[in-house]
Amino acid sequence: GPLEEMSLPLFFGWFLLSSVQDKVRCTSMDFLKTLDTLEAFKKHLSDFTGKAEKEVDLEQYFQAKGTLHCTTKFCDYGKAPGAKEYAQNTTVKELYGSAFELSLSALFVTPRTVGARVSLTEEQLLLWPADAEEEAGSTSLPRGSRAHITLGCAEHVEPVQTGLDLLEILTLQQEGQQGEPIEEMELGSLTYYGEGRWLLTLREPICTPACFSSFYG
Ligand code: A2P
């Protein structure tokens, strides 16, 4: 019946404390603002605009969507494969509503999305679905590689793309592509991976409190 259909959320995940959300958003905005002014970025501007001479305001280019979180399992109200099994998992039930510290280890930008990479602890990995990476077509990356926070999406891009963009960069790294080191910024080191893919590895990871819960929408 309709009540049963409502019993599974749109997704499970870690939800950032609201005061920290503002801080993370500011850090992300500052990064976009700085990236925008770099000669190296301007050189590859056509990745974003399609036309070399056009300008782009990255802060306008990406639209923020909703509350900041790191999705563990997308359930689609029960329609997604494995949704019911995940919701019934003992660890998921046990840790539901508990507080965690998430570690954001990098920021990344592509022509489609901007996001933060989340480095999961062993305990946090217990809440990570076994097939999250495989589902996205990555079979050889370690579990948890896809963990991220979507900070913004370009027009007509769905947030699911952010994790795929992160996996794409990590796959290049795994294949031995070191990328082009661009410069040391205040926040960390910036690397270019071609096709508009930028990675800022944070010197100091951003630690943020987050509650493991679910979103119904
Ligand atoms: P993300 O976790 O990258 O932010 P939507 O608003 O499109 O329904 O998505 C709700 C949330 O679920 C978003 O956080 C989104 O992406 C995530 N999400 C949507 N579709 C999927 C999917 N197929 N696999 C994993 N996560 C998804």
Check if the beta carbon of residue 113 is closer than 8 Å to that of residue 152. yes
What does the alpha-carbon distance between residue 215 and residue 205 come to, in Å, rounded to a whole number? 26
Predicted confidence at residue 52, as pLDDT, reads: 60
Tens-place pLDDT, residues 20-68: 999 999 999 999 999 999 999 999 999 998 766 678 999 999 999 889 9
- Please identify which of the residues 8, 11, 35, 69 carries the catalytic annotation: 69
Q: How far is the CA of 78 from the centre of ligand 1 (A)?
A: 14
Active-site residue 148, yes or no?
Answer: yes
Tens-place pLDDT, residues 136-188: 998 899 999 999 999 999 999 999 999 999 999 999 999 999 999 999 999 99
- Please identify which of the residues 28, 148, 152, 197 carries the catalytic annotation: 148
Looking at ligand 1, which residue's alpha carbon is closest to its atom 17?
160
Tens-place pLDDT, residues 70-91: 999 999 999 999 999 999 999 9
Q: How far is the CA of 56 from the centre of ligand 1 (A)?
A: 26
Q: How far is the CA of 160 from the centre of ligand 1 (A)?
A: 4
**Can you tell me which residue has the tokens 């493991």?**
212
Backbone CA torsion sign across 208, 189, 45, 56: positive
**DSSP secondary structure letters along 90-142:** HHHHHHTT-EEEEEEEEEEE-SSEEEEEEE--HHHHTTS-TTHHHHTT-SSSP
Active-site residue 156, yes or no?
Answer: no
Tell me which residues have their CB closer than 6 angstroms to ligand 1: 10-11, 71, 74, 150, 158-160, 162-163
Q: Tell me which of 1 and 99 has the higher pLDDT.
A: 99
Rounded (5°) CA angle 46-52-55: 85
The single-letter code of the amino acid at 10 is L
Among 38, 39, 28, residue whose Cα is nearest residue 61: 28
Check if the beta carbon of residue 205 is closer than 8 Å to that of residue 105. yes
Looking at ligand 1, which residue's alpha carbon is closest to its atom 21?
160
Looking at ligand 1, which residue's alpha carbon is closest to its atom 8?
10
Pocket test for ligand 1, best of 15, 24, 74 (most atoms within 8 A of CB): 74
First to last CA, the chain: 19
pLDDT over 70 (residue 5):
no
Predicted confidence at residue 7, as pLDDT, reads: 85
